[in-house]
Structure 1
Amino acid sequence: MRYDKPELRDMLAAKYALGTLRGAARLRFEHLVLQREDWQNCTDWWLMRVSLLADTVVAVKPASSVWRDIDRRLFPAYSRTRQWWRTLALGFSAVSALLLVLLINPALNPLQPPAQQTQTSGIHIALLADTSAQPGWLLTLSQLQRQSQELRVASLPGLQVQADKAYELWLLPADQSAPVSIGLLPQQGKASLSIKPELAAQLLTGALAVSVEPPGGSPSGQPTGAVLYQGKIGVI
């Protein structure tokens, strides 16, 4: 097998990060990663990418049938007795709930309307790349609360670190108004940038750009250095 092919390296690293590379193939891959730095960098990039995507997925409660199947497989002899008690407990709960509804006066304790769902479907993500299509950062837009959002940022292995400079992220509004600073991007590792709700809405319609600035960011509030990376938030 030709281990010098970038396509093969990328494919195996992606399968490893997703957990679909198994058995002897997974052991060979892990041994190869320990021996070659380029394979290690590629694997780290995929692990970071999958981890960042996993952080944006909203937790979903499994169906009751899933728990019953797990229970049945782990405790086959005990599950039937447990199911009888569970059914009895549900019956008492239903009766208690019915009595509670009959006793409470809705006029004295009106029900509050449920909070409106503000999280849009899908994952908002952007890959910032340079003119040669070399990616530098992976971004995801996450909603924390109804009035709070953040932009999660992960630097990628191909990013060129500049110790005496700073990378600043800018929003380029769709109406072609002046760029708006989002914040400084990490040159290594991950970071989170707080986003105002009105700015988050513009992020979905505008574009993103990264300029090279002095340490601490642009002194003028507008890009002063070369714009090296660009991207746009999309939904997957």
Structure 2
Amino acid sequence: MKSRQDIDNALSAQYALGTLRGNARLHFEKRLAQEQELAQQLGRWQTLLAPFENSTQPQIPPERVWKKLELSLPPQKTTASIWNWNYLGWALAAGLAAIVLVPYFTSRSPELSPLVVLNSSDATKGQWIVNADSERKTLQLVPVQPREIAANNSLQLWAIPSGAKPISLGLVNASQSTQLTTGNVALSPGTTIAISLEPQGGSPTGQPTGPVVFSGTL
């Protein structure tokens, strides 16, 4: 019999893939707003699957690739054998795989892991999962139950060191994953990560001017 943890892991994977539907999806989203461990588990799956989202595009192999494949094949016989056709298929597949996968592996993003969950004072408004690389220089913000905001507003991310003024880390897309860099801002323990509702384009003063709608402390 599968444990509850195994079931939650499977549900998180299905949700991240977009295959969890109907009442099961609605029930899962309600649990996300209440169970931080489940939200972190979902964040791990979203981080794992993120590099594969729109990461490859169809490409036509250049002529030199076909020439190289032709030269690597054994001399053609008058009566082609099944083995020759299998070899040709394997060679073509290997060549095409190299064309598609080499750019992917050479341009992969840093490996990210869950850093903190940003909660709202109103549990019905969802959460944000913040993932980071090992040096906390790259952040990925993933909305859970994303909500639309007015066209004349923007969401802005802030780092608030203990006893210091907020430092802007950039604007956040309200409805989908956003990746930002922290620059020279150190995200040390005790730092609060917050999202405020600002005028379109961000705060005009360099400090939060609107309400803080999500926050969490490292």
Category of TM-score, reference length = shorter chain: 0.5 to 0.7
Q: 1:227 aligns with which of 199, 212, 215?
A: 212
d(CA) in 2 for partners of 1:228 and 1:39? 24
CA distance in 2, matches of 1:161, 1:224: 20
The answer for the alignment partner of 2:130 in structure 1 is 139
Q: Is 1:33 paired with 2:21?
A: yes
Q: Alignment RMSD, CA only?
A: 3.9
Query: Which residue type is aligned with residue 201 of structure 2?
Result: G
Equivalent residue for 2:45, pick from 30, 44, 51: 51
Report the Cα distance in structure 2 between the residues aligned to 1:43 and 1:230, rounded to whole angstroms. Answer: 19
Unmatched runs of 5 consecutive residues or more in structure 1? 1-7, 20-29, 57-118
Structure-to-structure mapping, 1:197-212, within 5 angstroms: 198-199=184-185, 201-212=186-197
CA shift digits 1:70-128 (9 cap, x unpaired): xxxxxxxxxxxxxxxxxxxxxxxxxxxxxxxxxxxxxxxxxxxxxxxxx9xx9451111
**1:186 is matched with which residue?**
173
Aligned residue for 1:169? 157
CA distance, structure 1, for counterparts of residue 9 and residue 30 of structure 2: 9
How far apart in 1 are the matches of 2:197 and 2:188? 20
Give the length in aligned residue pairs: 143
2:12 corresponds to which of 13, 17, 22? 17
What letter matches 1:180 in structure 2? I
The 1-side partners of 2:143 and 2:115 are apart by 14
Inter-partner Cα distance in structure 2 for 1:137 and 1:169: 11
Say whether 1:126 aligns with 2:116.
yes
Offset, 1:166: 1.1
**Which amino acid is 1:136 matched to?**
Q
Percent of aligned pairs with the same amino acid = 21
Q: SS in structure 2 opposite 1:218?
A: coil
- Please give the secondary structure, in 1, of the residue aligned with 2:10: helix
Q: CA separation in 2, counterparts of 1:129 and 1:194?
A: 21
Contact 1:169 1:208 (8 Å CA) reproduced: yes
Aligned partner letter, 2:209: T
1:3 maps to what in 2? Answer: none
Distance in 1, Cα, partners of 2:21 & 2:6: 14
Could you list the runs of 5+ residues in structure 2 that have no partner in the other structure? Answer: 33-37, 51-109
Q: Distance in 2 between matches of 1:137 and 1:206?
A: 16
**Whole-Å Cα distance in 2 between the matches of residues 13 and 213 of structure 1?**
36
**Moved segments of 4+, more than 6 Å:** 42-47
**Residues 195 and 36 of structure 1, relative CA distance in 2, 3 Å threshold:** same
Q: Distance in 1 between matches of 2:122 and 2:31?
A: 21
Query: Residues 13, 217 of structure 1: CA spacing in aligned structure 2 closer, same or farther, 3 A cutoff?
Result: same
Does the CA contact (< 8 Å) of 2:147 and 2:175 recur in 1? no
TM-score by length of 2: 0.52
8 Å CA contact retained: 2:43, 2:131: no
* Matching residue's letter, 1:15: A
CA deviation after TM superposition for structure 1 residue 41, in Å:
5.1
Q: 1:209 and 1:36 mapped to 2: Cα distance? A: 30
SS at match of 1:202: coil
Instruction: Give, in whole Å, the separation in 1 of the partners of 2:147 and 2:157.
Output: 16
